Structure 1
Amino acid sequence: MRSRADGSGRRVALVACGALAQPAAAVVARRGWPVDVHPLPPLLHNSPHLIADEVRRLATELSASYDSVAVGYADCGTYGALDSVCEELGLRRLPGLHCYDLFAGESSLAERLDAEPGTYLLTDFLVRSFERTVVRELGLDRWPELRDDYFAHYTRVVWLAQEPDAELRTLAQRAADRIGLPLTVVPNGTGHLEQVLADILER
């Protein structure tokens, strides 16, 4: 995913979570930053212990052909391993514990989760890919009785919507129905994501 170059010819590589790559690329294109977005597979989130090494591998590879590299991930379940890689390679990453922070903001999301801890979160990416990334990955298509084991302690689904059009609303409702929980739609847009991307890409 490429953006427009500026007059200097200097370019930045953004090693991005696959679940963030499209909205990040849209922000990059709108701002005209000289940035190329290089996504890693979104299913790495199901194996977060692999994320740090994959970021190290791709960032090291890209550093040979870019002026600088940035990391389009929050911690995302690496428990500090990604920060160690960033420190080792001199990279900056996006703030927060997980992707949801990047859309809703850390403090706002923390307040929402404190108010109702049994909240299952969706983003536009997860709404679109729910059958593949959740249902199939958890085996619910083969063993639907596992639903209660996985979701017994959840009380609602909150969709942190970036672009809540009619199609996505239908898919979000279908995802909530799939796991038997009520749906709350919280329009977030990509304003916070744009802000934190600017912080690491404009420096």
Structure 2
Amino acid sequence: MSPTLIIACGALAREIQALLEANDWKAVRVSCLPADLHNRPERIPAAVRARLEAAGQAGQRVFVAYADCGTGGELDRVLAEYGAERLPGAHCYDVFAGERVMAALAEQEPGTFYLTDFLVHHFDRLILRELGIERHPELAGLYFGHYRRVVYLAQRDEPALHAAAEHAAKRLGLAFEYRHTGYGDLETSLVRFVGASSPATTGSGG
């Protein structure tokens, strides 16, 4: 049986590893691309293509753990060349919460800023420091003035993360809402792709 490779966004690494362990998927390798590519989504298709080319030479079955992620359909064009599939939806919020839920949240309050476990963990670096808010708090109003609330889409029900997400909302001066999503379509997609054909044997690598 061909080995299975998951080419993944680094922002999903923790969740994918948890699913590998929970399902005892041992004949699976994970190759993560830098999470910071989300700041330059135009670079995602080329980065995925390079990993797909390497995987093709190794004769591996490949799943791409990205949504469209701001590539404007370019990622799908790359995947079509290799007959590969990706996670459903436009972004990781769709993956975790589902497209219908995200549409309902956006209709209820268009000015919503979303957090996931990854973004809560890295809020200080990705939001406060990289946007300059840590040094210049007045910039929070410039960047987030059109937002009204933060919705934390939680993969794990952990009080410490919940508290950190609520604190992040206060730092931005926004209302806070908590929703536990679990792993959503990340789990169902991997169960379908990996679980049906993977022997119980694991390894993951970057």
TM-score (norm 1): 0.89
Structure 2 residue runs of 5 or longer lacking an equivalent are 198-206
2:47 maps to 1:28? no
- Cα RMSD of the aligned pairs, angstroms, is 1.6
Structure 1 counterpart SS, 2:11:
coil
C-alpha contact 2:63 2:86 (8 A) present in aligned 1: yes
- In 2, Cα distance between the equivalents of 1:192 and 1:89? 22
Q: 2:65 aligns with which of 59, 72, 75?
A: 72
Q: 2:52 aligns with which of 55, 59, 63?
A: 59
Structure 2 counterpart SS, 1:163:
coil
Structure 1 residue runs of 5 or longer lacking an equivalent are 1-7
- In 2, Cα distance between the equivalents of 1:61 and 1:15? 11
2:9 maps to 1:17? yes
C-alpha contact 2:95 2:184 (8 A) present in aligned 1: no
- Name the structure, 1 or 2, with higher relative contact order (CA <8 Å, separation 6+): 2
C-alpha contact 1:121 1:160 (8 A) present in aligned 2: yes
Greater shift, 20-29 or 87-96, is seen at: 20-29
C-alpha contact 1:75 1:82 (8 A) present in aligned 2: yes
Deviation at 1:119, TM superposition (A): 0.8
Q: Judging changes above 3 Å, is the alpha-carbon distance between structure 1 residues 67 and 184 closer, same or farther for their aligned structure 2 residues? A: same
2:144 maps to 1:156? no
Question: Which residue of structure 2 lines up, in the alignment, with residue 4 of structure 1?
Answer: none
Question: Which amino acid letter does the alignment assign opposite residue 163 of structure 2?
Answer: T
Deviation at 1:62, TM superposition (A): 3.0
Following TM superposition, the consecutive aligned residue runs of length 4 or more in structure 1 with deviations greater than 4 angstroms are none
Deviation at 1:38, TM superposition (A): 1.2
Deviation at 1:191, TM superposition (A): 4.0
Q: How many residues align?
A: 195
- In 1, Cα distance between the equivalents of 2:178 and 2:141? 23
C-alpha contact 1:71 1:94 (8 A) present in aligned 2: yes
Q: 2:120 aligns with which of 117, 127, 135?
A: 127
- In 1, Cα distance between the equivalents of 2:60 and 2:36? 28
- In 1, Cα distance between the equivalents of 2:135 and 2:4? 43
- In 2, Cα distance between the equivalents of 1:148 and 1:200? 43
C-alpha contact 2:97 2:184 (8 A) present in aligned 1: no
Deviation at 1:92, TM superposition (A): 0.8
- In 1, Cα distance between the equivalents of 2:63 and 2:55? 10
Question: Which residue of structure 2 lines up, in the alignment, with residue 169 of structure 1?
Answer: 162
Q: Deviations over 1:45-98 (max 9, x none)?
A: 111111111111122223333522210000000000100110122211111000
Greater shift, 188-197 or 155-164, is seen at: 188-197
Question: Which residue of structure 2 lines up, in the alignment, with residue 185 of structure 1?
Answer: 178
Question: Which amino acid letter does the alignment assign opposite residue 114 of structure 2?
Answer: L
Question: Which residue of structure 2 lines up, in the alignment, with residue 81 of structure 1?
Answer: 74
Deviation at 1:28, TM superposition (A): 2.5
